[in-house]
């Protein structure tokens, strides 16, 4: 068994990349004082008896830097879309204009910027934890192989490879957080 063990580092990489992709999605939903269609991605609307992403009930546009519009396709859903936005915690007050919902994006004050920076930090920490969990899974596989007769040299080699992958991913999480916090604090 000792020579047969091959750790699936591609699987570990894929799972860590998934944590990174999730972090980027969460960062995109943070409001930075500029309008962006991605800030509405986490908002779900109760449409036709099921929770539906907002971009599946209307067209989301950014006509100007501080305005997002949603052109709702079904008139009967306008009220539900408006309610979903109000209850989403985005801190935006929707304005109705027929089937078009306008979302003026207010300036962020210093206190709100700091809060968003902390939220970004929490998102980054969640991503780090997810990456460390993947690392732990890899290390457990190596320990199991060691118990099945893997040499100590092979064990050290594989552990080094898993640790290097982990360090690289944690570093990219930290860099993404730095960029996002700079973007949030930019006036």
Q: What is the pLDDT of residues 134-161, one digit of tens each?
A: 999 999 999 998 898 888 998 999 999 9
- Are 20 and 52 part of one and the same domain? no
Q: Phi and psi dihedrals of 24, rounded to 5?
A: -65, -40
Same domain, residue pair 166 and 113? yes
Q: Write the CB contacts of 142 (distance below 8 Å, at least 6 apart in sequence).
A: 7, 150, 155, 158, 159, 162
Whether 2 is in a domain gets the answer no
pLDDT for the residue numbered 33: 66
CB–CB of 3/73 below 8 Å?
no
The yes-or-no verdict on residue 80 having pLDDT over 80 is: yes
pLDDT value at position 91?
Answer: 73
Residue 18 has pLDDT above 90, yes or no: yes
Out of 85, 104, 123, a domain closes at: 104
pLDDT by residue (tens digit) across 48-76? 889 988 889 999 998 888 889 999 998 99
Looking at 104, 120, 143, the residue that finishes a domain is 104
State the CATH number of the domain containing residue 66: 3.30.1360.40
* pLDDT average, residue stretch 83-102: 85
Predicted pLDDT of residue 65: 81
Tokens of 130: 């997810």
The reported pTM is 0.67
Q: What is the pLDDT of residues 162-179, one digit of tens each?
A: 999 999 999 999 999 999
pLDDT at 31: 65
Looking at the fold, whether 63 and 23 belong to one and the same domain comes out as: no
Give the relative orientation of helices 9-29 and 152-185 as an angle to the nearest 10 degrees. 10
CB contact burial 49-62 (16+ within 10 A = b; e otherwise)? eeebebeebbebeb
| 96-106: average pLDDT | 87
pLDDT of 2 higher than 50: no
143 and 179 assigned to the same domain: yes
pLDDT of residue 1: 39
Domain of residue 48, residue span: 34-104
Domain-ending residue, one of 52, 73, 104: 104
Rounded distance, CA 33 to CA 109, Å? Answer: 9
Asked if the structure places residue 94 within a domain, the reply is yes
Give me the CATH number covering residue 129.
1.10.132.20
Q: Is residue 4 part of a domain?
A: no
Rounded to the nearest integer, the mean pLDDT of the chain is: 87
Distance of alpha carbon 135 from alpha carbon 173, whole angstroms:
15
How far apart (Å, rounded) are the C-alpha atoms in residues 35 and 28?
Answer: 11
> Is residue 80 assigned to a domain?
yes
Number of domains in the chain: 2
Closest Cα partner for 22 from 135, 169, 166? 169
């Amino acid at each position: 068994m000792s020579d047969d063990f091959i750790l699936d580092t591609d699987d570990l990489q894929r799972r860590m990349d998934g944590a990174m992709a999730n972090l980027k999605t969460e960062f995109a939903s943070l409001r930075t004082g500029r309008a962006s269609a991605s800030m509405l991605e986490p908002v779900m609307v109760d449409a036709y008896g099921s929770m539906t992403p907002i971009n599946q009930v209307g067209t989301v546009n950014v006509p100007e830097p501080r305005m997002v519009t949603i052109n709702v396709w079904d008139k009967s859903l306008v009220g539900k879309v408006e309610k979903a936005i109000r209850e989403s915690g985005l801190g935006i007050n929707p304005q109705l204009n027929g089937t078009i919902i306008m979302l003026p994006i207010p300036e962020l004050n210093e206190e709100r910027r700091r809060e968003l920076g902390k939220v970004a930090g929490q998102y980054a920490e969640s991503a780090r934890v997810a990456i460390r969990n993947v690392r732990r899974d890899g290390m457990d596989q190596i320990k199991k192989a060691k118990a099945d007769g893997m040499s100590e040299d092979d064990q050290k080699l594989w552990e080094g490879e898993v640790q290097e992958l982990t360090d690289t991913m944690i570093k990219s999480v930290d860099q993404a957080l730095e960029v996002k916090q700079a973007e949030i604090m930019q006036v």
